[in-house]
Structure 1
Amino acid sequence: MSHHPIRRAAVIAVASVSALALGACSAGSLVNPTESSSAGKTTLTILMDSSTQTTTQGKAIADGFNASQDEIEVKIETRPEGTDGDNVVKTRLATGEMTDLFQYNSGSLMQALDPATNMVSLTDQDFIANLDESFVTSVTADEQVYGVPFGQLMAGGIYYNKKVYADLGLSVPKTWDEFMANNAKIKEAGIDPVIQTYGDTWTSQLFVLADFHNVLSEQPDWAEKYTANQAKYVDEPAIKGFERLQDVYDAGYLNKDFASAKLTQGLQQLVDGTGAQYPSLTFTITSYLELADDAAENIGFFAQPGDDAATNGLTSWSPAALYIPSTTTGDKLDAAKKFLAWVATPEACDALTAAMDPTGPYAVKGCALPDGLPAAVTDMQAYYDNGNVSPALEFLSAVKGPNLEKITVEVGSGITTAADGAARYDEDVKKQAQQLGLEGW
């Protein structure tokens, strides 16, 4: 997978959710951007990817904003997903032909767009104070804030089958030792303790990436040191994610078909209760809801346990964001800022919720989740409510290598040791760090 180990692959994994099949830009457009606007109104066009989820949410906020005032009209234009869509965004920014606003990833992929050159800073806008702090970090470069959240927060952790847990008298683990003790009891009951699906290679990365809250709990400046080439995965505390991947393999806790199983098969095993736990990203919640009648209530979620129960918490992925390109000026710029100010309100969250059930908390303060959501969403919300959350590494550092999923498949399959895998990944990130011109590399 290219530069975004999780979201890029997730996009390939589940067409209906956070990532999606490639589509033709012209064929997928919801609006002709050259269409004349209603008399006297300033028209804004937003470029966004063509997935069902994105376009549904885009239409919801455009319609909601349009109904809230009568001076500005917002329209949607779509682009392909995946690498083709990345190329459209980069080309249009480079040629000065970007729409008035655009939707794109937060974190390291945003950094790769050279926001200081290509985007309008929003740092001085009052509405930034309405945004979740971990999200703001993910759209900040050189102390300038560039984006407003589009969609909900996502987390990396472990789904679990509540009925299996109840039948075996287990409680949610807060330490890795407790997790491994639960696994022993689950295996004894003839159930696969940990489901892995290396047929979709991106899923192999969770034990490493979702462990990052534990890394920061032990060493709060690890991301800064990593970016400066002063911290490595081969050393404590970061190597523990690789060691945990090896632990579950060595203990024989995986499903027999882990090497070839795909995401959907893993989720089916989870809801059937033939497997008890499945490391994943919470964007996949919508994918298991149709697999069993009781899936919404029966599948729970917990943060990846670390060494210390007192610091137990969640690794969080920020949603995509809406940005204003630097080519938007004058009345259009003023209108775009008014629109983003509205997006950063509970009213906009309500419009999104009405269009599509949220799969995680909103990154806008004051936004409430509705009742009746899947148990895993409620479980996830509790970590945010308690403040026990850290951003994933990709939102704190632009350093990442393209081969993590290949390396984690090998470590998780017993082909490579945790130490060797961590060393290989440390080597894997060098080229990109050098291409980014980072100091110390």
Structure 2
Amino acid sequence: MRSPRTTRRRVLAGTAITLAGSLLLAACSGGTPNDSSDTDRADGSEKVTLKLWTWSNEARVALQGGVLDLFTEQHPNIAVDILVQPDKDYQTLLTTGLSGSGGPDIAAIRSYGVISSFAEGGNLAPLDDVITDWSGFSDIALQGVTARNDGKIYGVPQGMQTAQVYYNKKVFSDLKLDVPTTWDEFLEVSEKIKASGTAPIVIPGAVAGQIALAGEVLGNARRGGNGWTDEFVAGEKKLTDADSVASIELMDEIQPYLIDNVTSVTLDEAVTIFATGMAAMYPSGTWQVASFASLGAKDLDYGTFDVPVDKGWPSAKPVTVAYSDGGWALSARSENPEEAATLLNWLSSAEYFQAYANAMGTIPPRDGVTLENAHVSEMYERYLDNSSTYLGLAYLRYGTPWGTDVYGEQVQKLWLDQQDAAGAAAEIQKGIDAWFDPADFAG
């Protein structure tokens, strides 16, 4: 795996987005401003209505709020009917919709194992030759929408997520603390914050997947970044490897600095705890910018940083954990494949992402985009500089049990003094041994 193209730096600029990010509100939507029945236009040509499904009400709001107007102005013969399906039922509804009639022409599908399973089921059309230009997209973005079985691309990436440490600038300033530049300094900063009476770190310790995400933020560089991941996927490394175990040990090292009763903290609680200043640091994803805004935390002055490395770590510099955040896919049963291809090509354009990324507050998966939010722009810059794929999401969710679930469960035991790092690594490896085969990812 390679880092995104460094030439993308030229597109950076920035300050401010309204992020409607990853707080996925499930709601059903009826007609849209672009919604219409197929009718004949004045010039005699037929107007086609494409059905587009998503689980994200925020995506619908962004698209209907002006983004899609750019498309329909250029293609007046194509209307787009957007339907938001309930998030909790989305996979089931989409399976039914794609396998029969009445389903979507284009659907938002989650990345990696999810989109791969839909492709393997024959419900999606490959897009390799449908999209005329893939050159602007990063490798990580395309990896997330590429099927494991045939290596073909089945989605136009919607956006990227990065994960890093959020920190409360006021707490740091009051205690005269600088952003740490080594792991040892990170622990020293945590100790000083704890001594002040504020919890140093909050993690949603009741949620296995959120623990796994935090573990990736803290441990990706310690494990060895993309270099280690390449060896793991090639079958040359296992999760019981010394560097992998050492990355889990970091989760044990931070245990004294976690908020009390961390294993009972939910995701919503963690967001609130950080936003209200009860905890000084929070390892999480880009979407939290929207979470803080939605809470009305106007007085929250925060920044972000990548976890610093220590001398002797496999990664010589900090990494930005990144992953592809789903894609727009084409139904193999679409009755309007030509018009759908026209829309998908527009959904892959820099023009689209310039509007959509700034409406949604997401990091674009391709170059040619100028971000307007200071926080997201800063994350984007670090992503371009030295990104590293989120191992658990990219490779450990193609079978049961998910590696990220086992990781979260084992770290919970670690924090409760019921497990050690080596034992946790062994259990995670044992879990994925039930289905993981490096040969599945060859090429």
TM interval, short-chain normalised: 0.7 to 0.9
Q: Which whole-Å CA distance do the structure 1 matches of 2:419 and 2:203 have between them?
A: 16
Across the aligned residues of Structure 1 and Structure 2, the Cα RMSD in angstroms comes to: 3.1
Q: Which whole-Å CA distance do the structure 2 matches of 1:367 and 1:38 have between them?
A: 36
Q: Which whole-Å CA distance do the structure 2 matches of 1:37 and 1:217 have between them?
A: 57
Partner of 1:419: 422
Report the Cα offset of residue 382 of structure 1: 2.2
Report the Cα offset of residue 164 of structure 1: 1.8
Q: Residue deviations 1:246-293, cap 9 Å, x none?
A: 1111xx212224232333333333234332111222212211223532
Q: Which whole-Å CA distance do the structure 1 matches of 2:173 and 2:259 have between them?
A: 21
Preserved contact between residue 139 and residue 145 of structure 1 (Cα < 8 Å):
yes
Alignment of 1:341-420 (within 5 A): 341-352=345-356, 356=359, 358=361, 360-370=362-372, 373=373, 375-386=374-385, 388-393=386-391, 394-396=393-395, 398=398, 400-401=402-403, 402-420=405-423
Q: Residue deviations 1:91-126, cap 9 Å, x none?
A: 233346532111111122111213583322222333
SS at match of 2:243: coil
* TM-score w.r.t. length of structure 2: 0.81
User: In structure 2, what residue type is equivalent to 1:158?
Assistant: V
Partner of 2:201: 194
Partner of 1:136: 142
Q: Which of 293, 315, 320 is matched with 2:298 structurally?
A: 293
Partner of 2:169: 162
CA, structure 1 residues 171+38, in 2 after alignment: closer, same or farther (shift >3 Å)? farther
Partner of 1:277: 281
Q: Which of 194, 207, 210 is matched with 1:203 structurally?
A: 210
CA, structure 1 residues 215+318, in 2 after alignment: closer, same or farther (shift >3 Å)? farther
CA, structure 1 residues 213+58, in 2 after alignment: closer, same or farther (shift >3 Å)? farther
Report the Cα offset of residue 130 of structure 1: 2.3
Q: Which whole-Å CA distance do the structure 2 matches of 1:416 and 1:98 have between them?
A: 47
Report the Cα offset of residue 300 of structure 1: 1.1
Alignment of 1:219-368 (within 5 A): 220=227, 222-223=229-230, 225-226=232-233, 230-249=236-255, 252-289=256-293, 290-295=295-300, 298-307=301-310, 308=313, 310-328=316-334, 332-352=336-356, 356=359, 358=361, 360-368=362-370
SS at match of 2:303: strand
Unaligned runs of 5+ in 1: 1-15
Report the Cα offset of residue 19 of structure 1: 4.9
Preserved contact between residue 102 and residue 322 of structure 1 (Cα < 8 Å):
yes
CA, structure 1 residues 357+116, in 2 after alignment: closer, same or farther (shift >3 Å)? closer
User: In structure 2, what residue type is equivalent to 1:259?
Assistant: T
User: In structure 2, what residue type is equivalent to 1:262?
Assistant: T
Report the Cα offset of residue 200 of structure 1: 4.2
Partner of 2:51: 45
User: In structure 2, what residue type is equivalent to 1:107?
Assistant: Y
1:80 aligns with 2:82: no
Preserved contact between residue 197 and residue 203 of structure 1 (Cα < 8 Å):
yes
Partner of 1:9: none
Preserved contact between residue 36 and residue 79 of structure 2 (Cα < 8 Å):
no
Q: Which whole-Å CA distance do the structure 2 matches of 1:96 and 1:210 have between them?
A: 42
User: In structure 2, what residue type is equivalent to 1:377?
Assistant: V
User: In structure 1, what residue type is equivalent to 2:77?
Assistant: E
CA, structure 1 residues 234+43, in 2 after alignment: closer, same or farther (shift >3 Å)? same
Q: Which whole-Å CA distance do the structure 2 matches of 1:414 and 1:285 have between them?
A: 33
CA, structure 1 residues 353+113, in 2 after alignment: closer, same or farther (shift >3 Å)? closer
1:428 aligns with 2:436: no
SS at match of 1:130: coil
Preserved contact between residue 217 and residue 311 of structure 1 (Cα < 8 Å):
no
Report the Cα offset of residue 70 of structure 1: 1.9
Q: Which whole-Å CA distance do the structure 2 matches of 1:38 and 1:81 have between them?
A: 35
CA, structure 1 residues 319+187, in 2 after alignment: closer, same or farther (shift >3 Å)? same
Partner of 1:93: 98
Q: Which whole-Å CA distance do the structure 2 matches of 1:425 and 1:114 have between them?
A: 27
Report the Cα offset of residue 357 of structure 1: 5.0
Report the Cα offset of residue 212 of structure 1: 6.2
Q: Residue deviations 1:357-412, cap 9 Å, x none?
A: 51x42113111111xx3x532331220242x1122122356363343332232223
User: In structure 1, what residue type is equivalent to 2:356?
Assistant: L
* TM-score w.r.t. length of structure 1: 0.81
Alignment of 1:88-127 (within 5 A): 88-95=93-100, 98-115=103-120, 117-124=122-129, 125-127=131-133
Q: Which whole-Å CA distance do the structure 1 matches of 2:296 and 2:272 have between them?
A: 6
Q: Which whole-Å CA distance do the structure 1 matches of 2:389 and 2:162 have between them?
A: 9
Percentage identity across paired residues of the two chains: 23
Report the Cα offset of residue 163 of structure 1: 1.7
The structure, 1 or 2, with the larger RCO (C-alpha pairs under 8 Å, 6+ apart) is 2
Unaligned runs of 5+ in 2: 1-19
SS at match of 2:436: helix
1:54 aligns with 2:59: yes
Q: Which of 175, 182, 193 is matched with 2:189 structurally?
A: 182
Q: Which whole-Å CA distance do the structure 2 matches of 1:340 and 1:253 have between them?
A: 47
